[in-house]
């Protein structure tokens, strides 16, 4: 059953020619009215082929900027302008450029897509959590500087032993804050459940997992597994989505702290306000930045 505000959004989006993209960490009422839902990689691929004139991103800023880079002729909006990603802003373009010039000359620079657009202008290829291993394997270069998340980078390095991967000391403050003790406590509390963990978590946590993979991988694993109980080691919002999709299974949090405040900022009212024309923010990027930054996103889609 749809609420009145959801019905109004569906009516308005048709009238105003909007396509709504929503990340899997968004709330159920937003996912219900979205044209397309998925992880960062799936949303990026989708953003390239949209026929509507207007795109509304329900997620965080780098996702809306990625959509703008891939569809520069469209009007792209971020539903809640305060929704950023603390990981994306960890390193400045100047700092990374200096590393490339001094310490890592000749290295290919692989950037987690959770980076600013400025940073993307100095990277060779972007990856998402679900595409990282495949893309790094498909790259011809052996020497790779992986930025900014050292946990995801270490996970990629473990799965691509043929590459020489250098890491920086960055990461997602939400996933990286989870301790081995919390993971062990969740396993002790739910001894029959499988532990599914995102590679943005520390290695000491992923080492305890029955399965480590991106948000999409975790969801697919839980949906297709014969097991009946799962501890979810990524943003807690997907527990509700999984519970709705798999009513015969049980899902538990690995930690009450696995909540991304930025992903939680967007409300159904923000979606309505943006489409109605009195909220949200239109993403504006200059042509030179678009030309420089789009290359690494296109390369991601090509290699992924």
Identify which of residues 262 and 270 has a Cβ nearer to ligand SF4 in the complex: 262
Identify which of residues 54 and 214 has a Cβ nearer to ligand SF4 in the complex: 214
Q: Which does 130 bind (CB under 5 to 8 A by kind): ligand SF4, ligand 13P, none?
A: ligand 13P
Pick from 182, 217, 235, 270: which binds ligand SF4 (CB under 6 A)? 235
Binding track over 189-218 against ligand 13P, x by CB under 6 A: -----------x-------------xx---
116 forms part of the interface with ligand 13P (CB under 6 A):
no
CA 232/CA 236 separation, integer angstroms:
7
17: helix, strand or coil: coil
129 forms part of the interface with ligand SF4 (CB under 6 A):
no
Identify which of residues 195 and 260 has a Cβ nearer to ligand SF4 in the complex: 260
Rounded to a whole number of angstroms, the minimum distance from the CB of residue 263 to ligand SF4 is 5
Binding track over 12-51 against ligand SF4, x by CB under 6 A: ----------------------------------------
CA 61/CA 81 separation, integer angstroms:
7
| β-pairing verdict for 75-78 and 281-282 | antiparallel
Whether residue 41 contacts residue 63, with contact meaning beta carbons closer than 8 Å, is answered with no
263 forms part of the interface with ligand SF4 (CB under 6 A):
yes
40 forms part of the interface with ligand 13P (CB under 6 A):
yes
Query: Which residues within the stretch 168-227 sit at the binding site for ligand SF4 (CB under 6 A)?
Result: 172-174
Q: What is the per-residue burial (b if ≥16 Cβ within 10 Å, else e) of 169-181?
A: ebbbebbbebeee
CA 66/CA 88 separation, integer angstroms:
12
Q: Angle, to 10 degrees, between the axis of helix 40-48 and the axis of helix 61-70? A: 30
Gyration radius (Cα) of the chain, Å:
19
CA 38/CA 22 separation, integer angstroms:
7
128 forms part of the interface with ligand 13P (CB under 6 A):
yes
60 forms part of the interface with ligand SF4 (CB under 6 A):
yes
86 forms part of the interface with ligand SF4 (CB under 6 A):
yes
Q: What is the 3-state secondary structure (H, E, C) of 82-135?
A: CCCCCCCCCCCHHHHHHHHHHCCCCCEEEEECCCCHHHHCCCCEEECCCCHHHH
172 forms part of the interface with ligand 13P (CB under 6 A):
yes
* Only segment of 123-131, 161-169, 275-283, 289-297 that touches ligand 13P (CB under 6 A): 123-131
Whether residue 147 contacts residue 160, with contact meaning beta carbons closer than 8 Å, is answered with no
Rounded to a whole number of angstroms, the minimum distance from the CB of residue 237 to ligand 13P is 11
User: Site residues (CB under 6 A) for ligand SF4?
Assistant: 60, 85-87, 114, 172-174, 235, 260, 262-263
């Amino acid at each position: 059953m749809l609420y009145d505000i959801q019905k109004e959004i569906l009516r308005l989006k048709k009238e105003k020619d909007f396509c709504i993209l929503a990340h899997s960490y968004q709330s159920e009422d937003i996912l219900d009215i979205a044209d397309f839902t998925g992880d960062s990689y799936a949303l990026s691929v989708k953003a390239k082929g949209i026929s509507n004139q207007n795109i509304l991103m329900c997620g965080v800023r780098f996702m809306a900027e990625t959509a703008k880079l891939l569809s520069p002729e469209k009007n792209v909006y971020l539903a809640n302008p305060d929704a950023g990603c603390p990981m994306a802003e960890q390193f400045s373009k100047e700092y990374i450029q200096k590393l490339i010039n001094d310490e890592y000359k000749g290295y290919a620079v692989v950037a987690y897509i959770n980076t600013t657009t400025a940073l993307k202008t100095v990277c060779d290829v972007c990856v998402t959590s679900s595409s990282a291993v495949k893309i790094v394997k498909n790259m011809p270069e052996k020497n790779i500087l992986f930025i900014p998340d050292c946990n995801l980078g270490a996970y990629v390095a473990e799965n691509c032993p043929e590459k020489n991967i250098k890491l920086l000391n960055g990461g997602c403050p939400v996933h990286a804050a989870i301790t081995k003790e919390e993971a062990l406590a969740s396993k002790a509390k739910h001894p029959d459940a499988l532990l599914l963990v995102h590679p943005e978590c520390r290695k000491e946590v992923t080492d305890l997992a029955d399965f480590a993979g991106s948000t999409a991988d975790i969801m697919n694993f839980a949906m297709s597994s014969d097991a009946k109980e799962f501890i979810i080691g990524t943003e807690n919002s997907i527990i509700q989505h999984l519970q709705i999709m798999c009513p015969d299974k049980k899902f538990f949090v690995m930690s009450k702290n696995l909540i991304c405040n930025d992903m939680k900022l967007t409300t159904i009212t923000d979606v309505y306000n943006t489409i109605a024309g009195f909220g949200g923010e239109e993403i504006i990027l200059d042509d030179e930045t678009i030309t420089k930054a789009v290359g690494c996103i296109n390369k991601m889609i090509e290699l992924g």
